[in-house]
Structure 1
């Protein structure tokens, strides 16, 4: 279960200033605003109920061992860490075992952040309340608008490992084996007593420098770099290997890499601000800054093979391209930095991880459902399984079953039905009413569509949430201006017709013949007309001809052009982003008819669209109406196809000996 992002919606802020929203049963709802959720790539509140549902479902299926590839908490705040510990202990009492790996939200920084907090807790009046840790500047200044409590500080490694030690970070007498990258057992024989002694945080540290791995690796690194390493310091590595049942090895990898930055103070190395966050580092930096971990993984992999152990490795970060090998195309089509492509591991990273002998790995971090594999000329083969978050659209968990030492069955359990998912909706209604009634510009900008409060299931709720997330955030953040305008204006019918349009009428002339196609030249730069102009009225006739071609194209695929209008702009860009996150799970929600419609759009564009004329980084308004659209959306639909046609990611089998992934679900959908 990856990226639970547990936030205790009935937690204790331990504050006399603000306890949350009083409920009818005497509790306090300590929740974030709906607007905050709809502009975040994760939910904060409803995943509380989804988490319990997932645990109940797993327990009912007979599952007793659960691994968490990081981000099990919101941001490692005491209120939320204590909350998830309480839940885990409840299910542990039923016979379940839990094994945590750290993520970039737990810890956010390697050491305690006493200045952290959130701006958007929801009040009973539907407004936002700032809640910060006591050392935050606003608290020090005694700002009366801010609630101050250390329940919102962000805990570092030491506190997290102390509070959650029983969930894998420390040895358990019931386990057959437990070790860290630093373990040394007398005579090479496992001893629980020695394991306890070696589990201390002080014995699980390595040296990290700004430029690379320190310790025994520093001299070679400095020689290669040609200068001395700087900002070197001790850092915790919470990785561990455990054998909870005979023959099964769980390798919980701490792939967080917190690199000392320009604010690092050697006199105060535990100052949280002295380190870069781990979110974009991932396995790229593991291979340069945690070489001791790489060597240990090699050792574990070799020993697992020699001893016939079923090895399941997991960490918070993916080990290879998680965009179904569409990353480079996405970089070319969308805004710089769109879709967090900085987090995609380099090809050399996948090769480096595969070279350790590790054969398969479960990752999280991106909240995606997906699968990819890598093979090299040396015979190394690595599979990366992306476990989706419980806090987003496509919420699900993975069931892993070893059929034999070389065959792994993976089943994805989607969370469509979650009891109590709408328990907090009355409080959001108050927020909605407040925002609609307020004339303050800041409040007006945060208005959201009320339809999400009418959803009837968790699946429908997260589907709607992703539509709003797309509208309120992704379209501005990821899509270039003219692409955003087209995606938010054209329905599926208009998209298919525009793919067939061949006109000489320019974008600049659209204002002279409005109503034919809902596009403008607002995003374009003003260019100089050239050649023989045609009247703007010609667009009407050209659109009519394109419509005839689109009708014939649809008919050849057994479809009707008018039915494409059911794909509203909101549907289209929501479907695109849902497929980015959920892969083939999103196609199931679309249904066969829409999948078939998208498949036609994917092959409808000209093989070689006319080139786009640009003025600087903008499209020229002297381009013909269809040119930019056909160029850009040919790419968009190619990416869309790739994302929805990747390796099997719902129910599949990993054949480690045959080095292949097989689809085990005859009902799966694809854009192929």
Structure 2
């Protein structure tokens, strides 16, 4: 039996690296390749800032002396060859200079099924002129660039083979669900298609032991199904799709967890999607788009993998579930390319994992695209931000008004928010309204809802308002309309959730403190 490993492992997620110097790869006359502010402001992530944010995260890890780094998917913007070249070169640089090892799991933005697919992206010149670059030559009014495409799985494997996906000379153990072969042709699993028939597809899951006593399990939770017009990505269904179409992955996970226990290995598992509900059963919005059902959560918990890290939704949260003797703690790792821009530093001890959430702080060069933004939109306030943290807070604030309100809430409710207070909402749900709640506009409460949903304890809600939310009883019956109930329930449960900043996970019973 091997002695259990103790030490530090970092977990990053969703860097979404876009190479701002890849212009010539797309046939442009200059290296300059900045995405437009219009695209950035309407996206759940920022584009041009992702590369320098990732560099800042890696530099922090160098300062901490961390040598093992897990990345829970979406390393690249959308899997373009130029972005994979830049990302792989960056990770190789830190490997060669500092002896780091990187372990990736496939995100839904990193690759597409088979040979990949053409993309179309909005760019902006230094003079503020927006133009499109498209991989499909039939796209009207766009610069045609064959390189504007999302790579297929075989190409992605070529770029990322050194980052866990293939056996490394120093690995003490390495396997896939199908054996010990690196070759993609030997990593084919049978999906259960929508019609119940098997569909043979590649799977990029792997298990690696990079140092004696530590196992890192990377689960490829991407599901692609044949549709009437090409392949369909089931990313919106996350682990629900895995249970429905790739249930054999859970059998392998269960086997890995059992072997780890018998052999005395410390097991860290990651996949791109959360494996259990992280939103405390708050309905609507994000919950309807992603969170595993209770059936799915029970199935993933029963694998016995214990500690699981996920990305995808760019949220900083912790979820826990117990099923008979098994437990699963899902640590949602925030993106370095969206609020609150942080990663997890895991200190593995013999009986516990102490997890610290490290924010990026100052990010040199984050404002490199600001001149382009202001040329594009002279009255924009986003490119006036003085720090990366301010930039991302302003980005989420604008995104709430621009996207989330319209998508997640009824139109009439959104209109009422501008003239009501939190006290009004509380009264409508049959709750007593503290006098202090009359000073909180309902629209501000919605902003707090999203900052808590995405940032958790890093939401930076002023203490006075946070205390009001934490005083709400999530178990008290709530009357009123669906939207009012959801807002109050969200403020209560998000502010009273499991710790997600600095916390410890007991590796024997899954308790989080």
TM-score normalised according to structure 1 size: 0.70
Shift of 1:432: 0.9
Q: Residues 363 and 474 from structure 1, CA distance in 2 versus in 1: closer, same or farther, beyond 3 angstroms?
A: same
Partner Cα distance (1:652, 1:154) in 2: 37
Report the equivalent of 1:546.
none
Is the Cα–Cα contact under 8 Å of residues 17 and 87 in structure 2 kept in the other structure? yes
Report the equivalent of 1:654.
505
Is the Cα–Cα contact under 8 Å of residues 320 and 328 in structure 2 kept in the other structure? yes
Shift of 1:88: 0.6
Partner Cα distance (1:344, 1:497) in 2: 30
Q: Residues 251 and 498 from structure 1, CA distance in 2 versus in 1: closer, same or farther, beyond 3 angstroms?
A: closer
Shift of 1:498: 6.8
1:32 aligns with 2:35: yes
Q: Deviations over 1:268-307 (max 9, x none)?
A: xxxxx2x210312322222232233222212211110011
Shift of 1:462: 0.5
Is the Cα–Cα contact under 8 Å of residues 363 and 385 in structure 1 kept in the other structure? yes
Q: Residues 246 and 608 from structure 1, CA distance in 2 versus in 1: closer, same or farther, beyond 3 angstroms?
A: closer
Report the equivalent of 2:408.
478
Q: Deviations over 1:493-538 (max 9, x none)?
A: x432675599xxxxxxxxxxxxxxxxxxxxxxxxxxxxxxxxxxxx
Is the Cα–Cα contact under 8 Å of residues 23 and 32 in structure 2 kept in the other structure? no
Report the equivalent of 2:13.
2
Is the Cα–Cα contact under 8 Å of residues 306 and 510 in structure 2 kept in the other structure? no
Partner Cα distance (1:340, 1:147) in 2: 38
1:123 aligns with 2:158: no
Q: Deviations over 1:4-58 (max 9, x none)?
A: 1111112244244x346xxxxxxx3311111211111111111221111000001
- Which residue, 444, 456, 480 being the options, matches 1:583? 456
Q: Residues 451 and 209 from structure 1, CA distance in 2 versus in 1: closer, same or farther, beyond 3 angstroms?
A: same
Is the Cα–Cα contact under 8 Å of residues 373 and 381 in structure 1 kept in the other structure? yes
Q: Residues 256 and 632 from structure 1, CA distance in 2 versus in 1: closer, same or farther, beyond 3 angstroms?
A: closer
Is the Cα–Cα contact under 8 Å of residues 467 and 570 in structure 1 kept in the other structure? no
Q: Residues 296 and 473 from structure 1, CA distance in 2 versus in 1: closer, same or farther, beyond 3 angstroms?
A: same
Report the equivalent of 1:362.
309
Shift of 1:208: 2.3
Partner Cα distance (1:603, 1:242) in 2: 44
Is the Cα–Cα contact under 8 Å of residues 76 and 110 in structure 2 kept in the other structure? yes
Shift of 1:121: 0.9
Is the Cα–Cα contact under 8 Å of residues 417 and 441 in structure 2 kept in the other structure? no
1:83 aligns with 2:94: no
2:118 match: secondary structure: coil
Shift of 1:632: 4.3
- Which residue, 394, 418, 423 being the options, matches 1:496? 423
Q: Residues 317 and 19 from structure 1, CA distance in 2 versus in 1: closer, same or farther, beyond 3 angstroms?
A: farther
Q: Deviations over 1:611-653 (max 9, x none)?
A: 6xxxxxxxxxxxxxxxx6xx74354122211112111111111
- Which residue, 339, 345, 352 being the options, matches 1:399? 345
Is the Cα–Cα contact under 8 Å of residues 234 and 241 in structure 2 kept in the other structure? no
Partner Cα distance (2:428, 2:222) in 1: 50
Query: What does 1:344-493 align with in structure 2 at a 5 Å threshold?
Result: 344-376=291-323, 378-404=324-350, 406-433=351-378, 450-490=380-420
Q: Residues 460 and 260 from structure 1, CA distance in 2 versus in 1: closer, same or farther, beyond 3 angstroms?
A: same
- Which residue, 572, 576, 592 being the options, matches 2:445? 572
- Which residue, 633, 636, 644 being the options, matches 2:484? 633
Q: Deviations over 1:234-264 (max 9, x none)?
A: 211111111111111111111111122234x
Partner Cα distance (2:249, 2:413) in 1: 44
Q: Residues 19 and 374 from structure 1, CA distance in 2 versus in 1: closer, same or farther, beyond 3 angstroms?
A: farther
Q: Deviations over 1:570-622 (max 9, x none)?
A: 64332221111111211xx122123234456x479x9775x6xxxxxxxxxxx
Larger radius of gyration: 1
Gaps of 5+ in 2: 1-11
Report the equivalent of 1:207.
190
Is the Cα–Cα contact under 8 Å of residues 368 and 387 in structure 1 kept in the other structure? yes
Q: Residues 638 and 569 from structure 1, CA distance in 2 versus in 1: closer, same or farther, beyond 3 angstroms?
A: closer
Q: Residues 659 and 483 from structure 1, CA distance in 2 versus in 1: closer, same or farther, beyond 3 angstroms?
A: same
Is the Cα–Cα contact under 8 Å of residues 192 and 246 in structure 2 kept in the other structure? no
Partner Cα distance (1:239, 1:500) in 2: 51
Q: Residues 9 and 381 from structure 1, CA distance in 2 versus in 1: closer, same or farther, beyond 3 angstroms?
A: same
Q: Residues 655 and 19 from structure 1, CA distance in 2 versus in 1: closer, same or farther, beyond 3 angstroms?
A: farther
Partner Cα distance (2:182, 2:86) in 1: 24
Query: What is the number of residues matched between the two proteins?
Result: 498
Is the Cα–Cα contact under 8 Å of residues 488 and 573 in structure 1 kept in the other structure? no
Query: What does 1:607-626 align with in structure 2 at a 5 Å threshold?
Result: none
Is the Cα–Cα contact under 8 Å of residues 584 and 645 in structure 1 kept in the other structure? no
1:284 aligns with 2:284: no
Query: What does 1:52-67 align with in structure 2 at a 5 Å threshold?
Result: 52-67=55-70
Partner Cα distance (1:301, 1:210) in 2: 27
Report the equivalent of 2:8.
none
Is the Cα–Cα contact under 8 Å of residues 321 and 327 in structure 2 kept in the other structure? yes
The answer to which of 232-241 and 155-164 deviates more is 232-241
The answer to which of 388-397 and 277-286 deviates more is 277-286
TM-score normalised according to structure 2 size: 0.91
Partner Cα distance (1:596, 1:86) in 2: 46
Is the Cα–Cα contact under 8 Å of residues 115 and 151 in structure 2 kept in the other structure? yes
1:60 match: secondary structure: helix
User: What is the root-mean-square deviation of aligned Cα atoms in Å?
Assistant: 2.4
Partner Cα distance (1:283, 1:388) in 2: 18
More strand by share: 2
Structure with greater contact order relative to length (CA < 8 Å, sep ≥ 6): 2
Q: Residues 351 and 569 from structure 1, CA distance in 2 versus in 1: closer, same or farther, beyond 3 angstroms?
A: closer
1:42 aligns with 2:25: no
Is the Cα–Cα contact under 8 Å of residues 279 and 494 in structure 2 kept in the other structure? yes
Partner Cα distance (2:243, 2:17) in 1: 30
Partner Cα distance (2:468, 2:298) in 1: 38
Is the Cα–Cα contact under 8 Å of residues 425 and 442 in structure 2 kept in the other structure? no
Q: Residues 495 and 345 from structure 1, CA distance in 2 versus in 1: closer, same or farther, beyond 3 angstroms?
A: closer
Partner Cα distance (2:21, 2:84) in 1: 13
- Which residue, 98, 103, 108 being the options, matches 2:102? 98
Partner Cα distance (2:357, 2:506) in 1: 17
Q: Residues 171 and 98 from structure 1, CA distance in 2 versus in 1: closer, same or farther, beyond 3 angstroms?
A: same
Shift of 1:568: 5.3
